[in-house]
Structure 1
């Protein structure tokens, strides 16, 4: 450790004090100098057209190039959210755009004299004047859900709200039938999914949607197998033959959620055999078709798959 004498310590203290004052003086001079800097401003409109509906094709914020001191630049960064510029839309009666540089003189009358705006990016704002429509359309959930073993979706998906309001050019709005969500991706699911999913952002700036997100509820339950006997129905017996099926019932094994296990019975299924297989194609046995199955149930096997029959003419 270096030991300093009292004189040396006094000299170092004087040096550091002078250095501190020099840095402070430099900062004061630097921040008091004038610069051109960029800041974001919210756009407000006045003198809007009364006889024409319109829609801005760009964001409600623009970048403004402002002339000011370093202190003003710092304050502008801090208060960026409160900065706004008023744009006069009187020229929209004759053309679909507004040139901001043409309004600089008027805009600067609303700005501090020592803090003028010298330019904008973009300098030209464009507007859409096509006929506009408003429509409510259903939301379409886009999802990629992977479930844990023996788990699956057990009931209909609920969306809150299930409809969204879209507005925009009539030609595009009239062609819309649904509005998609962002993709819901979840893996190894073994319980109900309750989450919020955003809606797809419109590809065009002249289309608006409300709301921007929906609540998604996906019922999930554990599944198991169940077996029941289902009576067979004969179809296409054009000559009304007396047909005896052997057997008259089939055994169907299917998967169902545990919460609906007790409620699933034979009345919710429908099985049939088609006599045309015998009359037109000469089949000696008739294949069984299950034509009605409860929602979210999946048939695993049918026994027997083919039915013997006796025709009494």
Structure 2
């Protein structure tokens, strides 16, 4: 809106910050008005200024009042970001949200494109204890989320390191064929909570390799993978990561 007036009036307008219009869309559309323009629009603008103010021009000249009913959709909240803990701690379980779902309001077309409500990309660094922190929902054009902020619950536990020596075995060997691994055992290191430390034993881990997955390896080496491990063990590492193997034929006695 472009206006002219005396200096004092302009100063008062600047101080009062009369820079917005309130339009009762429901009342106008019920009266059969689908657009705001002409004298009606000009009078609405004039109501925001002093009687001495001269309106030189305004843009846009027409405001379309057509509306459509908003649809709603309940969406699960999904975290987007990074979580790191201090050295002796790890995230003990999946994060959760309070609430776990938010309601999205928008056109049917806009909502059909949404499968979940994603948080703003957020980084939580060096967490030392279980935390409940605010995180905002990432805005989507034409969609309103209620609520637009949730609480993320991050369970943190203190962990310690432990290492076991685990034998390497093979299954599915045909007939009289046998296999030897060099070395024949591997060190399995992992992180575990103090509560679970004494509950885990070497027998909870197995490195059992299927003959069919490595017998054609021309370099005579096979990558090691755990075939069994307890759920309480986190950040599991195997050393060495691969070993040499040699096939032998058993003789009948």
TM-score, normalised by the number of residues in structure 2: 0.66
- Residue 148 of structure 1 deviates from its aligned partner by 2.3
Q: Name which of 24, 38, 47 aligns with 1:44.
A: 24
In structure 2, distance between residues paired with 1:136 and 1:210: 10
The question of 1:139 aligning with 2:77 is answered yes
CA change 1:127–1:103 in 2 (3 A) is closer
In structure 2, distance between residues paired with 1:257 and 1:310: 42
Q: Name which of 236, 244, 252 aligns with 1:299.
A: 236
Larger Rg: 1 or 2?
A: 1
Q: Name which of 32, 52, 57 aligns with 1:90.
A: 32
CA change 1:146–1:306 in 2 (3 A) is same
Secondary structure of residue in 2 paired with 1:103: helix
Residue of structure 2 in register with 1:252 after alignment: 188
Q: Name which of 162, 167, 171 aligns with 1:226.
A: 162
CA change 1:177–1:105 in 2 (3 A) is closer
In structure 2, distance between residues paired with 1:304 and 1:185: 32
TM-score, normalised by the number of residues in structure 1: 0.56
CA change 1:101–1:198 in 2 (3 A) is farther
CA change 1:250–1:296 in 2 (3 A) is closer
Q: Give yes or no for contact 1:45–1:89 (8 Å, CA) kept in 2.
A: no
Residue of structure 2 in register with 1:288 after alignment: 224
Measured against aligned partners, the alpha-carbon deviations of 1:116-161 in whole angstroms (never above 9, x if no partner) come to 9x79876644467678643222222122334322323222111112
Instruction: Map 1:79-118; keep pairs closer than 5 Å.
Output: 90-92=32-34, 98-99=35-36, 101-104=38-41
Secondary structure of residue in 2 paired with 1:289: coil
CA change 1:274–1:282 in 2 (3 A) is farther
Secondary structure of residue in 2 paired with 1:90: coil
- Residue 259 of structure 1 deviates from its aligned partner by 4.1
In structure 1, distance between residues paired with 2:116 and 2:71: 15
Residue of structure 1 in register with 2:130 after alignment: 192
Residue of structure 2 in register with 1:6 after alignment: none
- Residue 182 of structure 1 deviates from its aligned partner by 1.8
Instruction: Map 1:165-244; keep pairs closer than 5 Å.
Output: 165-202=103-140, 204=141, 206-228=142-164, 234-235=170-171, 237=172, 239=174, 243=178
- Residue 199 of structure 1 deviates from its aligned partner by 0.8
Q: Name which of 272, 280, 284 aligns with 2:208.
A: 272
Q: Quick check: which one's helix share is greater?
A: 1
Alignment length, in residue pairs?
A: 237
Gaps of 5+ in 1: 1-29, 50-87, 93-97
In structure 1, distance between residues paired with 2:66 and 2:208: 59
CA change 1:218–1:122 in 2 (3 A) is farther
In structure 2, distance between residues paired with 1:280 and 1:164: 53
Over the aligned positions, Cα root-mean-square deviation in angstroms equals 4.6
Using CA pairs under 8 Å that are at least 6 residues apart, name the structure with larger relative contact order, 1 or 2: 2
Q: Give yes or no for contact 1:131–1:170 (8 Å, CA) kept in 2.
A: no
